[in-house]
Structure 1
Amino acid sequence: MSKAPVSFYNQAWRWHFYAGLFVIPFMIVLSLTGIIYLFKPQLDNLMYADLLKANPIGQSLSAEQQLARVQAAYPQAAVSQYLPPVDAHHSAQFVVSEAGRKLNLFIDPYSGIVLGSQDAQNNLQALARAIHGELLIGTVGDRLVELAAGWGVVLVVSGLYLWWPRGRWGAGVLWPRMAARGRLFWRDVHAVTGFWGSLLLLFMLLTGMTWTGFWGQKFADVWNQFPAVMWNDLPKSGVEARSLNKPESQTVAWAMENTPLPASTPPAVDPHAAHNGHNMADMAPVASGQIALQQVVDIAQARGVTPGYSITLPQGKEGVYTIAISADDPRNDATLHIDQYSGEVLADVRWQHYNLVAKSVEAGVMLHEGKLFGLANQLLMLAVCLLILLSSVSGLVIWWKRRPQGQLGVPPLRHDLPLWKTAVVIMVALGVAFPLVGISLVVIGLVDWLVVSRVRRVEMA
């Protein structure tokens, strides 16, 4: 029986190696892009001050007048979104599509001057967010990030077992032995940073996974539910609100992603009447009788929506205006859907309508993004990212220094030791909790048994 802990330690070492081999490149990418997105407010003010600032002189133009100025400057563009100024000193923003490009256009709401444009998908923050979420390769990238996050949990669990001091505390356990050199020093750095960052890393992994396309969507379908009565009497479009979120930008909060988008009810229209919709080049024309954009702004103000919200314009004849803000303080979250013809508020969902799980996730996501407590939150998350980077780099150094010449360096597995059932239970539980991890565990186990172990036995023969 005395050999069982050795077997479990050996197996944990092996899985920690496999997890690290796969996860570390992703952790480095996610940490670097996360740091960029973490300081978005400061970087935007530094890089785009000329686009973001307005000169508050005189009376501001209405949203309709601002829209007319944008359409005059970009007559072939299709307008999809309007972001009113957050205060008197900031510009308004329109999101448009023109000649296959998506642009952010900034306009001074007082003078009506278009201050300039920004590529909506290829600016620093948009790229950082898109890489962070799906590595710029769509669904495949999303699944890879999700798989890396799941394996990151395996990495933390196995790493904590390997770190456990077993009667020895102090240097090398809670802090590195500074007099150590070579592999021993890097081992201490890896173990100590991994320990101190373990709970925060788990928090980052789990809150990040709520946005993934497979696990995150299944999690939302089970735990993020609103009373059916909120949607029973509404005409529905058959599209979920998650369609408004894009890899490079977020419109609706996580809590709203799996809710249905309502549909507007078109009035009887004279087929010979002129269209007066906002859509131009590549958007479907909207029937006459659509309410003015300023009216939607007035609805948002009348209902006390926190500044910083966006207004997504209707897509097609049954589309709705969507007023949405995923606020730094999630208690200010709001999502309103407006009938584009009558101006009726079809849905108005706030923080108080979220269930406990949705509230927890929203607060966790804002903490993850460094928004909940201002600069202190940003600095805390920066420290976590730096710990992850240090642990990742030190792990690579340890592997490089101890790997056998010309080999991958997989820790050997002794087959003469008894099976420790706890290890099986832990790995099965992780595989069930994170299905992509479970599938990959089976694949790696088969490869390990069929290829790696047999190759080693041949080499030793």
Structure 2
Amino acid sequence: MNKGLYNRFWRWHFYAALFITPLLLTLTLSGIGYLFYPNVENKAYDDYFFGKSAHTEKLTIDEGIEKAKGQFKGYSVSKVIVLKDPYNTRLTMDDRNGDEKYVFLDDNYQIVGSQNAKYTFSNVMRNFHSSLFVGGTVVNYLVELAACWAIFLLFSGVYMAFKGKAWKKKQNASHHQKNKKWHALVGTIITLPMIIIIFTGLPWSAFMGNFIYSAAQEHPSIGIPELKQNPPTSNMSEIPWATRENDAPTSSDGSGAHAHHNGMSGMDMTNSNRLSVQQLMTKVEDAKISKPYSIIYPSTEDGVYTVARGSNTGVTGLDVSPYDEITTYFDQYSGKLISKVGFDEYGLLGKWFTWGIPLHEGHLFGWPNKVINLLVCLAFIFVIFWGIKTWLSRKKKGEFSAPPNTAKGVSIGFGIIMIILGIMMPLFGISLLIVLLIESCFWFFKKRQLSV
């Protein structure tokens, strides 16, 4: 066995685990919480999702929307979510401060209740998982960095397990050797599924996520089709001649809290010429688009109604199979179906993440997906636990007992592996340079002290 390479991996594995274990536990536990958010919300918000209003008068959906706007002054509708029975219809409403509210309408389109979007279970878990409730670029980078170093931990752990033959049966094995065996064995088993879970979560990350999204936009043949990036416009000639010269309505800023998950945004505008939601829903039905789907309002006078079925919406009851994902554009004045783009039109990169995100979220292939993700996450927690036990079982009293430093320089094999990982995960590569710089400084000062 190459002792120098082994010790190098062992030392970096130890220190990486020491610094990122709290973050890894946080990400794993919050990930488990998010995994079951539809199950939790179906129970916790039963009255909102499936309840009925005390008012039994039958309204049109447009009357229900107007009633909601009247009850919640200062809020405008940005999205209508039409779900399958027995779910109620859900309105997303925003105010000018960026606050978001969910309002539920029953089958008579009467108001059942409302929620502050910020404090729903799914959004709390998502915020906890992605930004630790703190948010900001630094925290988002820190979360991504922990995920990247977790991949290094898995790779280096597998290398040491095979090189050290950690699972080989030993006579009269010590407590330390038993802990090491279980740490190595379970860690090796979950390496592949854990790496898949981590990589399918990277589209949300701050650094690599933006890189992936930019690549998908710049290269539509492998990523996001041009039509989905730049939706068509409504035909302005559909506006009646008598009112065509009137000042066009303006929309609020579509950034921030109004942004849709795929970059689109909408805001309800006062426009008497525009098709009503009820009329649009008839057009949607004629176009053979089945529930569930979301309706995103036009944000400009020449904007379009966007009707979408998504595989990674983060909304209970709205997700569909990746193969059924579709985004359609309807003229806001005539209701004409202008164009549509579906899974088959996506490039390879777009298809991978359209398929990968629901796999990460645990709803790609029903409850077995949730169970597999749960078992992998629990096994990962146990690997961390056994790792800590392994260290404590060999730790000498009063000493830190870090793995021994190797006197040799960085080997070619170690360098190649780290370069490959650094290219695959740029933020990891940047942190790697910082670690190497720190280690070089320690080596320089130590050498200087010995020479004095």
Q: Hey, what does 1:325 align to over in structure 2?
A: 309
Determine if contact 2:79/2:295 at 8 Å carries over to the other structure.
yes
Judged with a 3 Å threshold, the aligned counterparts in structure 2 of structure 1 residues 291 and 155 are, in CA distance, closer, same or farther, namely same
Counterparts in 2 of 1:316 and 1:446: CA distance versus 1, 3 Å: same
1:376 aligns with 2:368: yes
User: Within 2, Cα distance between the matches of 1:120 and 1:292?
Assistant: 25
C-alpha offsets along residues 333-353 of structure 1, whole Å, 9 cap, x if unaligned? 011233323434343111111
Query: Are 2:289 and 1:305 aligned?
Result: yes
Which amino acid in structure 2 is aligned with residue 90 of structure 1?
Y
SS at match of 2:204: coil
Q: Using the TM superposition, give the Cα deviation of residue 422 of structure 1 relative to its aligned residue in structure 2, in angstroms.
A: 1.1
**What's 1:260 paired with?**
230
1:213–1:418: structure 2 CA closer, same or farther, 3 Å change rule?
closer
Query: Is contact 1:276-1:287 (8 Å) kept?
Result: no
* 8 Å contact kept, 1:76–1:98: yes
* Inter-partner Cα distance in structure 2 for 1:459 and 1:15: 24
Does structure 2 retain, via aligned residues, the 8 Å contact 1:286–1:316? Answer: no
Summarize the Cα distance change of 1:261–1:127 in structure 2 as closer, same or farther, 3 Å threshold: farther
1:440 corresponds in structure 2 to 431
Gap change, CA 1:170 and 1:65, over 3 Å in 2: farther
Counterpart of 2:8 (choices 11, 15, 38) is 11
- Spell out, residue by residue over 1:407-437, the C-alpha distance to the aligned partner (whole angstroms, 9 max, x if none): 765433222x365311111111111111111
The 3 A distance-change label for structure 1 pair 86 and 449 is same
What is the total number of aligned residue pairs between the two structures?
423
Q: Which moved more, 1:265-274 or 1:139-148?
A: 265-274
Residue type of the alignment partner of 1:152: A
> What SS does the corresponding residue of 2:101 show, helix, strand or coil?
strand
1:54-89 alpha-carbon deviations (Å, 9 max, x no partner): 4599997432122122123223321111111322x2
2:355 counterpart residue number = 363
| Aligned residue number for residue 334 of structure 1 | 326
What amino acid is aligned across from residue 209 of structure 1 in structure 2?
A: L
2:44 is matched by which residue type in structure 1?
M
1:97 maps to 94
Per-residue displacement from partner, 1:262-296 (whole Å, max 9, x unpaired)? 444555756667969999xx968454412111233
Q: What is residue 403 of structure 2 aligned with on the other side?
A: 411
More deviation, 46-55/425-434: 46-55
| 8 Å CA contact 2:306, 2:327 repeated in 1 | yes
**Cα distance in 1 between the residues matched to 2:153 and 2:166:** 22
Query: Which residue of 2 is the match for residue 244 of structure 1?
Result: none
Q: Which residue of 2 aligns with 1:290?
A: 274
Q: Is the 8 A contact 1:197 1:388 kept in 2?
A: yes
Counterpart AA for 1:109: D
Aligned counterparts of 2:129 and 2:344: Cα–Cα separation in 1: 30
Q: How many angstroms apart in 2 are the aligned matches of 1:406 and 1:133?
A: 37
Tell me how far apart the structure 1 counterparts of residues 29 and 125 of structure 2 sit (CA, whole Å).
9
Q: Measure, in 2, the Cα distance between the counterparts of 1:412 and 1:42.
A: 48
> Could you tell me how far 1:32 is from its partner in structure 2?
1.2
Candidates 62, 65, 68, aligned match of 1:64: 62
Deviation at 1:31, TM superposition (A): 1.3
* Cα displacement (A) at 1:119: 1.4
Q: How much has 1:226 moved relative to structure 2?
A: 3.4
Partner amino acid, structure 2, of 1:297: M
Q: 1:182 to 1:119 in 2, by over 3 A?
A: farther
The 1-side partners of 2:274 and 2:400 are apart by 64
1:141 to 119, 139, 142: 139
Query: Corresponding residue for 1:208?
Result: 201
Matched with 2:123 is: 126
* Matches for 1:26-105 after TM superposition, within 5 Å: 26-54=23-51, 61-87=59-85, 89-98=86-95, 100=97, 101-105=99-103
Q: How does the TM-score come out when normalised to structure 1? A: 0.80
Among the aligned pairs, what percent are the same residue? 28
Partner of 2:118, secondary structure, is coil
Q: Deviation string for 1:296-339 (max 9, x for gaps)?
A: 32333233334222112122434432212223411110112333
Assess if the C-alpha contact under 8 Å between 1:284 and 1:316 holds in 2.
no
2-structure distance, mates of 1:44, 1:278: 31
- Indicate the larger mover: 393-402 or 117-126: 393-402
Counterpart of 1:157 in structure 2 is: 155
Does 2:185 correspond to 1:192? yes
Report the counterpart of residue 219 of structure 1 in structure 2: 212
Higher mean alpha-carbon deviation, 162-171 vs 94-103, is at 162-171
What is the root-mean-square deviation in Å for CA atoms of aligned residues?
3.6
In 2, Cα distance between the equivalents of 1:284 and 1:326? Answer: 21
Give the superposition deviation at 1:128.
Answer: 0.7
Deviations 1:100-150 (A, max 9, x none): 43111111122x331111111122210111222233313333322222222
Which residue of 332, 339, 357 maps to 1:347?
Answer: 339
Deviation per CA, 1:186-228: give whole Å up to 9, x if none: 3333222211111111101111113323312323443574359
Distance apart, 1:456 and its partner CA: 9.9
Moved more, 446-455 or 113-122: 446-455
Alignment partner of 1:431 is 2:422: yes
Kindly state the Cα deviation for residue 51 of structure 1 after the two structures are TM-superposed.
0.7
TM-score, normalised on structure 2?
A: 0.81
Q: Distance in 1 between matches of 2:70 and 2:349?
A: 46
